[in-house]
């Protein structure tokens, strides 16, 4: 059974600070990792994807992947109140087939003005 | 353009009704997905279509019947649903099997009375 673990929070961060979100996964063969943001009542919106060990930066967002330790993280710099949402970590199964995503339960992030 | 559209946005149905959810994308994607999301839970994979063929059925009850008429359209036919089937139904698409990013539609909020 594939598992993706996230701290459900809520994680409260002051405006302007760095928010750090973490995720671990159980299947060592997993290859592709995604962070989605979901506002209440809305559908998931892709924030970042990462395939290789190390860091990947896109604007205020940085995804970090460590396959040896089986964890993925998302850093949000200069946090804004509009970043308040649930952040879902998702893992795509290995094997190359048209597999779906396995999601973690999500971390509820609150940016305090 | 990374748009996936879903209709209707909201649906209320009785347990004896038959209804259908529709999903459409014009990005040339060849893999399409149905997910179910209950309140405060992550999305759960239901079905995967790859090149218009059903490739994954995650042991979904037969009262849910998927259909992929062509590469741009995905339907979910509903019949004799139960109140516990009330949820947000999300459609997603990606370029193809084992490909990268899945893009989600806005979802259909289903209520079964």
pLDDT-derived band at B18 (thresholds 50, 70, 90) equals: very high
Which among A67, A87, A74 has a CA at the least distance from the CA of A25?
Answer: A67
B15-36: average pLDDT: 94
Would the pLDDT of B97 be above 80? no
Specify the pLDDT at position B57.
80
Residue of A nearest to B106 (CA): A43
Cβ-defined contact of B101 to A106 (cutoff 8 Å): no
pLDDT digits (tens, 9 = 90+) for B34-62: 999 999 999 999 999 988 999 878 789 99
User: Which residue spans within A1-113 are E strands per DSSP?
Assistant: 4-6, 11-14, 19-25, 32-38, 45-50, 54-58, 61-66, 71-76, 85-92, 101-103, 107-112
Supply the pLDDT for residue A12: 97
Looking at the complex, does the CB of residue B104 fall below 8 Å from at least one CB of chain A? Answer: yes
Please give the Cα distance from B42 to B6 (Å, whole number): 19
Model pLDDT, residue A64: 98
Average pLDDT, chain B: 92
Give the pLDDT band of residue B21 (cuts 50, 70, 90): very high
Tell whether the model's pLDDT for residue B72 goes beyond 80: yes
- Compute the average pLDDT of residues A85-101: 80
**Tokens encoding B70:** 């062509």
- What's the whole-number mean pLDDT along residues A38-51? 94
B67-78: average pLDDT: 96
CA distances from B20 to A19, A25, B47, B104, B113 (A): 41, 35, 15, 18, 16
Q: What percent of chain A has pLDDT over 70?
A: 95
Q: pLDDT tens digits, residue range B82-92?
A: 999 999 999 99
Q: Output A81 or B98, whichever has higher pLDDT.
A: A81
Query: Are the C-beta atoms of B109 and A43 separated by less than 8 Å?
Result: no
pLDDT of residue A1: 67
> What per-residue confidence (pLDDT) applies to A97?
54
Mutate to test the interface with B, among A98, A105, A108 (most CBs of B within 10 A): A98
Percentage, residues of chain B above pLDDT 90:
79
Q: Do B41 and A96 touch (CB under 8 A)?
A: no
Q: What is the pLDDT of residue B59?
A: 83
- pLDDT for A20: 97
């Amino acid at each position: 059974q594939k598992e993706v673990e996230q701290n459900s929070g809520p994680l409260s961060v002051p405006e302007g600070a760095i928010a750090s979100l973490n995720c671990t996964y159980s299947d060592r063969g997993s290859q592709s990792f995604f962070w989605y943001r979901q506002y209440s009542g809305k559908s998931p919106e892709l924030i970042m994807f990462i395939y290789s060990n190390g860091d990947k930066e896109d604007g205020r967002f940085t995804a970090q992947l460590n396959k040896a330790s089986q964890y993925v993280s998302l850093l949000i710099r200069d946090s804004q109140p509009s970043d308040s949402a649930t952040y879902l970590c998702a893992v795509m199964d290995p094997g190359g087939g048209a597999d779906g995503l396995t999601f973690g339960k999500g971390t509820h992030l609150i940016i305090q003005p | 353009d990374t748009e996936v559209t879903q209709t209707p946005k909201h649906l209320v149905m009785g347990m004896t009704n038959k209804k259908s959810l529709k999903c459409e994308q014009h990005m040339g994607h060849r893999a399409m997905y149905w997910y179910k999301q209950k309140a405060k839970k992550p999305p759960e994979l239901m079905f995967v279509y790859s090149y218009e063929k059903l490739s994954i059925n995650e042991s979904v009850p037969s009262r849910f019947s998927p259909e992929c008429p062509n590469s741009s359209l995905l339907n979910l036919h509903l019949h004799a649903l139960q109140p516990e089937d009330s949820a947000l139904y999300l459609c997603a698409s990606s370029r193809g099997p084992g490909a990268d990013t899945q893009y989600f539609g806005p979802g259909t909020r289903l209520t079964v009375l």
